[in-house]
A = this chain, B = another copy of it.
Amino acid sequence: MKVRNIAIMGLGTVGGGAYDILVGNHDYIKRTRGVDIRIKKILDRDYAPLEKRGIPREKFAESVEELASDKDIELVVETMGGVEPAKTFITTILKSGKSVVTANKELLAKHWSELEPIAKANNCGLFFEASCVGGVPVIRALGESFQGDKITAVYGIINGTTNYILSKMTSEGCDYATALGEAQALGYAEADPTSDVDGYDAQYKLSILGSLAFHTCLPYTSILREGISKITANDIRNARDLGYIIKLLAIGKRDGNRVEARVHPAFVPAKHPLASVSGAYNAVYLNGDAVGDLMFFGAGAGARPTGSAIVSDVIKALKDGPTYTDFDNSGRPDKDIELVGDFMSGYYICITVDDKAGVLSRISTVLGDNGVSIKAATQEPSSDESATVVFLTHAAREHAVMQSLKTIENLASVRSVDSTVRVLE
């Protein structure tokens, strides 16, 4: 059996996971999948950790050009992360006619439309199962499974860091800052947690998943994005009292040519399967017009789960060769697609008001005037002559709710609109 040589750029957590699986399961992969994979070179900024791993020096590469010009190397894994220099490096590799396997969701969300044509022009492939939802094989499924279905929805919990923080807030009743601190201490959140907690990471992933599911580009910039940093311990308690769990959801829907896409915290009914997806786990729902509802659940991050996705792509690339997206990957949605900003959703609204008669009624009137129908309302007096009013609405138009809140904020007896969280229907 011919040895197939590959290289890895960036042997951090995910790259290291892929390395360990490729080495540890080498014989098993050779026997069951029929490919004899050898890691010939590794490119990294710092070789000290690689030496500690016992990786021999002759495997250390000096530059991306060394990989590109090595005729033995068929494929390069990119697990550096970030846009640059990953983009330049991947471009160099693709131009040398070698396929690339990447876990880089940010790069893909931002520059997929530039990179895919380079791969195509050089008869090699760009593989990216590991870019979304760790080891959960949603990208392969969108390409290879339920191929005759019109996918009408893709949604779920696709960021492990925020799910860890929200799970912690839910189980321990602590506030956001405390939960974030613990997540950072345990390595579940980065020192600068912006990409996760502000929803960028989920936005990138939904851009990729939505594009594949709906067969049209879904630019990440077209996706409504709200993070979790405004969620309070009070919101978590109110959610629980009303029978919900708060999760950061990514939601993509397609109805005919109307597409909506959004990332935001949401009230998830406690009995919904997504409500029980806790900690660093991820889950993605798909709905197809033939297959109905499907859910995929698993580890959304981590060295070995994400490494598993990388290795699976490496094997597929070496065995089957490249495939390309089956839609116009121009970076823009098809011309006939309408991106819907004024979507329908239920809402949880928490407002602090003066503790006087008639306030609840005045707020209700504003909501009603805007066509927002109330499902439940409670009013609890607080200490300082104020009261907390909590509303749950029926499905209403996003713009109508936002318009209502502007009016409500200016009502005489309203002190502050404290929270607005959408509700998963």
CB of A39 to closest CB in B, whole Å: 13
CB of A270 to closest CB in B, whole Å: 11
Contacts A148-B21, A316-B144 given: A135-B291 contact, CB under 8 Å? yes
Cβ of A378 under 8 Å from chain B: no
CB of A212 to closest CB in B, whole Å: 10
Contact A294 B298 (CB under 8 A): yes
Contact A298 B293 (CB under 8 A): yes
Cβ of A381 under 8 Å from chain B: no
A29: B residues at CB distance < 8 A:
147-148
A304: B residues at CB distance < 8 A:
290-292
Q: How many residues of A contact B (CB 8 A)?
A: 53
Interface-central residue, A33, A308, A315, A327, by most chain B CB under 10 Å: A308
Which of B271, B276, B288, B315 makes the CB contact (< 8 A) with A308?
B288
Contacts A148-B25, A308-B146, A316-B144 given: A326-B292 contact, CB under 8 Å? no
Cβ of A140 under 8 Å from chain B: yes
Which of B21, B22, B291 makes the CB contact (< 8 A) with A305?
B291
Contacts A32-B326, A147-B312, A312-B146 given: A295-B292 contact, CB under 8 Å? no
Expressed in whole angstroms, the Cα–Cα distance for A312 and B148 within the complex equals 6
Contact A326 B34 (CB under 8 A): yes
8 contacts between A and B (CB under 8 A): A32-B215, A137-B141, A145-B312, A148-B308, A291-B304, A295-B295, A295-B296, A297-B297
Q: Besides the contacts A147-B315, A291-B305, A291-B309, what 13 more A-B pairs have beta carbons closer than 8 Å? A: A21-B149, A25-B149, A33-B147, A33-B148, A135-B290, A135-B291, A145-B312, A147-B316, A273-B297, A291-B299, A292-B305, A295-B297, A295-B298
